[in-house]
Amino acid sequence: MYERDFMEGTRGTMAVDWEERIDTGRLRRERTARALDRLRDSPLGAMLLVDDPNVRYVTGLAMTGGSGADHYTLLTEDGDVVHWDTADHAANQRFNCPWLDDIRYACPGLGNVPRAAGRASAREWLVDRMAGTVEDALDEYGVDGPLGVDVASEPLVSAFEDRGVDIDTGTASECMLDARKTKTRDEVECLRQVAAVCEAGFQAIVEGTKPGRRESEVWGDAVRECWRHGAMVQGGYLTSGPNTWPKHQANTTDRLVRPGDLVYADFYNVGFLGYRSCYYRTFSVGEPTDAQRDAYERARDDLYDVLERIEPGATTAEVCEGFPDAEGEQMDWYDADRFWQMTTNHWAHGLGLQLYEPPLVWRGISPDHPVEIEEGMTMAVETMRPADRQGVRVEEMVVVRSNGVEALSQWPVEEITRIDY
């Protein structure tokens, strides 16, 4: 495991002038530069970005995750950035975002607006007008070469082709995936910071869990704590007792916590400056049973078997061998006979502006489709084990360093956290 230097790491959520923290200006500049480098190495003349994380990566704008295509961004090979957004957002961006000097009003050709329009003619007009706004910018900036689009929308592609625009529907997505797969120092710090915020949520769970409280009440305490620290909570849940294994389909419920329960908290999609967490811990309400303790130790050992295999140059095929075999996956219980049927139980996935980014380490695909691990990749590694009629899950957030991984998550993992009441 990588050991951080003195004073390296989380220093606070606020901006200050007396020490260096997350440098948001540098964060924006380095991300845009990475995307531009990939664009210049491609045959494209420009990229049209519609996917929210790609838009944020290039512009630094906080995407709402709304209807889709009521905001979109053009990046040209000369480094020009044009952004289109809804009238209210665009007006605010012109005032608040001086690093962008060409912000225009969008025509929502995809998403909720055309879907709600109710007529095919309206949808056709909207998508054609959207293509027209982009074509105008291509002409203004003298773009020479194909336009890469990061969404394979048939109506949008057709609208561009009808206007004589040379369209590529695959390269832009690959360029952006390649740019985003390794993280800058500020991106890593954003992920470290969101891990710290999740730990504040874990502490709220420890303090608030007791027999007679509902899962929803305890989870509400944790979410409130995360928001208090500046996070945006767009996912996650807490379950208890028999709801802990397999994953409960309704996530957090009104079930009352009882003595002897396991309580499982999943802080996924908690965002800090847009960077998303995926961070599990399991707690015991009172003294854990032998079965619960044994299950926890197995899940923890599975987790660290995987972590010890992660280093630059290793492949996802090699790393996935650390995850449990068919018996450890409980395939018989699930009546499954293929690893691809066991989605989400044991795997590692990249983290960044989206919950799932490259790489994916999973017995379902990695043996036949390996990807090389690179320094600077960030990922969440997750494992689980059943304990009688309950179950434990544990997960670490890490960044790949030159000599292994650094754990961004810091909640104690050696033993299950016991909650006394």
Q: What is the pLDDT of residue 265?
A: 97
Pick the CATH number of 24-180 from 3.90.1200.10, 3.40.50.80, 3.40.605.10, 3.40.350.10: 3.40.350.10
pLDDT tens track for 127-142: 999 999 999 999 999 9
Higher pLDDT, 66 or 40: 40
Pick the closest to residue 49 from 72, 76, 83, 25 (CA basis). 72
Q: What is the pLDDT of residue 15?
A: 87
Asked whether residue 256 carries a pLDDT value surpassing 90, the answer given is yes
Pick the closest to residue 56 from 169, 180, 147, 167 (CA basis). 180
267: confidence class by pLDDT, cuts 50, 70, 90: very high
Q: Length of the chain, please?
A: 421
Partners of 390 in the β-ladder: 387
Q: What is the pLDDT of residue 70?
A: 84
Give every CB contact of residue 419 below 8 A, 6+ residues apart in sequence. Answer: 205, 206, 209, 210, 263, 283, 284, 285, 286
Sign for the pseudo-dihedral over CA of 304, 308, 310, 315: negative
Pick the closest to residue 219 from 232, 234, 202 (CA basis). 202
Pick the closest to residue 202 from 253, 134, 266 (CA basis). 266
Average pLDDT over residues 268-281: 96
Contact 18, 119 (CB under 8 A): no
Asked whether residue 378 carries a pLDDT value surpassing 70, the answer given is yes
pTM equals 0.95
68: confidence class by pLDDT, cuts 50, 70, 90: low
Q: Domain residue spans in the chain?
A: 24-180, 185-419
Asked whether residue 381 carries a pLDDT value surpassing 90, the answer given is yes
Pick the CATH number of 185-419 from 3.40.50.720, 3.90.230.10, 1.10.3720.10, 3.40.50.10800: 3.90.230.10
Query: 275 in the Ramachandran plot: left (φ > 0), alpha (ψ -120 to 50) or beta?
Result: beta
Asked whether residue 199 carries a pLDDT value surpassing 70, the answer given is yes
